[in-house]
Structure 1
Amino acid sequence: MSLESLNDQVAFVSQEQFLFNTSLYENILIGKPNASKEEVLDAAKRAQCNEFLERFPDGIETQAGDGGKQLSGGERQRISLARAILKNAPIIVLDEATAFMDPENEEKMNAALDEIIKDKTVLVIAHRLSTIKNADKICVIKDGQCIAQDSHENLIDTCPEYKKLWDASVSASAWKVREA
């Protein structure tokens, strides 16, 4: 398989997405350069972008600015997800795709992901365990080695390292910041 053929089969959404200093429309179009306007608008909608696009007078034609400075990190992430939706590749790689998101953006991103991962092979690289809890198979990596792989429920029962990580994750999610 050629590198170009492999690239056609994979859509990649990383924590460090890059937007070009062009319109948001053109930034999404990168996912499938020959897509119709309707396909681009549909991808933006499915990636939960409409809510923030409506804030801009030029909507999807708004200039992203250098590195996407017109948008928050979560909004840039959803534009990146719209690219992946538009590409419609059978394999999706999510590399810490929700790492820097606030809870509102993470909720919207997860809603979009739930829709697009149907009938796809999805590889999720995550430290935030809530992101992977519903995966068919989770690989626990320790010192560069896969020490266990199974569903969340089975790993809780059979893998002490995973249970320790999960318990710490649940405990951390309950933390509250007190006002002085």
Structure 2
Amino acid sequence: MQGKISLLYLLGFTIAASKIMDGVNGLYLNMAEIMYIDARMKRIQELRKLRKQSGKKMELSSYEIEFQGVSFSYQKDYKVIDTLSFVAKQNEVTAFVGPSGCGKTTVLRLISRLYDYDNGKILIGGKEIANIDIDCFFENISIVFQEVLLFNTSVMENIRMGKKSATDEEVIQAAKLANCHEFISNLPEGYQSMIGENGSKLSGGERQRISIARAILKDAPIILLDEISASLDVENEMKIQESLKYLLKNKTVIIISHRMKSIEKADKIVVMHQGKVESIGRHEELLKISPIYRNMLEKSNMTENFRY
């Protein structure tokens, strides 16, 4: 042991060490990839365990929506919807209001069959939705949520998702009714412009109006709207309200909104509290009978009248 090492041994050790480190690094990279794949496989297995939604093709004689004692839980020990009953009549606007967490959005999710209810019945035209063929069911419903789902393709094709057989002229007409023809025309390639993943190249108001154009083009008899103007500025909200006049005409409409002004003229307003109906009526009636509605209206007015 002289505390020395030859150049040959040093070079050999360095090369061997680098090879070992390459192997270790490769192992770490492979482990990360394996963990990623394992997580995805678990999600796929969970999806395969879900009960397949089925049903029969049916002709609906009307598009009235009725909840009969419906209950639903995301978790077994807590009912988000508790024996809920109401009727949303055809060709009328039924609005849902209530404190956050009262179950308003869950009502729309149950109607649109994103979840299956635990107890009770949900009927459309007198037929339970669980018995209706899923494709037939979705032909009759248009959904416009606050979080708009768009695809990384052209504006034209994103709107045409509402009706695959639509001509270019029909798409453009729907865009005009939805107040989005002007901004689309100003895009670099107009209706052929690519809008990015989930419409990343567009503003929130523009994405929302394209979603409404898609629903106008589909022309389904049932319309579900969930907080579609919650995060928009005044200008975009006004344009969307204008476009909704065409979308909602002669339809069965269910709408959720925190902006009380937008639902005051609804044919029926359902006030919810802790998954149940607190009161049902028109705006003028609820001012007299519902303390929750009055409280929400007062808070809404205070927010709108606030000045810095």
Matched, 1:143 2:143: no
Matched, 1:24 2:167: no
Structure 1 residue 140 displacement after superposition: 0.5
What is the aligned partner in structure 1 of residue 183 from structure 2?
A: 52
Map Cα deviations across residues 84-142 of structure 1 (whole Å, 9 max, x no partner): 00000000000111111111111000011122211101000122212211110010011
Matched, 1:161 2:284: no
Distance 1:60 1:151 in 2: 41
Q: Please tell me whether Structure 1 or Structure 2 has the larger radius of gyration of its CA atoms.
A: 2
Equivalent residue in structure 1 for 2:168, among 37, 41, 48? 37
Structure 1 residue 44 displacement after superposition: 0.5
SS, match of residue 187 in structure 2: coil
1:30-179 superposed matches below 5 A: 30-177=161-308
SS, match of residue 194 in structure 2: coil
TM-score by length of 1: 0.95
Distance 1:54 1:63 in 2: 13
Distance 1:41 1:176 in 2: 40
Distance 2:257 2:245 in 1: 16
Distance 1:146 1:52 in 2: 41
For these two proteins, the number of residue pairs brought into alignment is: 177
Say whether the 8 Å CA contact 2:215–2:247 is kept in structure 1.
no
SS, match of residue 147 in structure 2: coil
What is the aligned partner in structure 1 of residue 92 from structure 2?
A: none
Which ranges in structure 2 are unaligned for 5 or more consecutive residues? 1-131
SS, match of residue 292 in structure 2: helix
Distance 1:6 1:48 in 2: 28
Matched-pair identity in %: 44
Distance 1:128 1:144 in 2: 20
Letter in 2 for 1:24: V
SS, match of residue 101 in structure 1: coil
SS, match of residue 255 in structure 2: strand
Map Cα deviations across residues 29-71 of structure 1 (whole Å, 9 max, x no partner): 0000001111100110111102211321211211111110111
SS, match of residue 153 in structure 1: helix
Which segment drifts farther, 124-133 or 156-165? 124-133
Q: Structure 1 segments of 4 or more deviating over 3 A? A: none
Distance 2:228 2:284 in 1: 23
TM-score by length of 2: 0.56
Letter in 1 for 2:201: Q
Which segment drifts farther, 83-92 or 120-129? 120-129
